[in-house]
Amino acid sequence: MRGDLLGYLRKSRGIHDKYHLGQGNVSELQTYDLVLFAKQIAAGMVFLGSRGVSNHLKKLAQNSIS
């Protein structure tokens, strides 16, 4: 799979996404596939949190509001 996740999910539901450039057909996603995506996203967020990325993003957001 190549491209962005949102575009892939939209294409799997038959919704046209002008930003998703993935080629070919996308099979209908099963509940297992969606849970697997969520698990992988959560693992990535834990990894970024362990590297202090979330603190950096919070500081950036606070600076942009000020």
Judge whether 12 and 27 are in contact, CB under 8 Å. yes
The C-alpha atoms of residue 27 and residue 17 are separated, in whole angstroms, by 16
**Ramachandran area for residue 23 (φ above 0: left; ψ -120 to 50: alpha; else beta):** beta
pLDDT tens, residue by residue, 16-51: 766 656 666 677 788 998 999 999 988 988 888 888
Q: How many domains does the chain have?
A: 1
Helices (H), 1-66: 5-12, 31-50, 53-65
Higher pLDDT, 4 or 33: 33
Range of the domain at 57: 5-65
* Cα–Cα nearest to 31, from 12, 11, 15: 12
pTM passes above 0.85: no
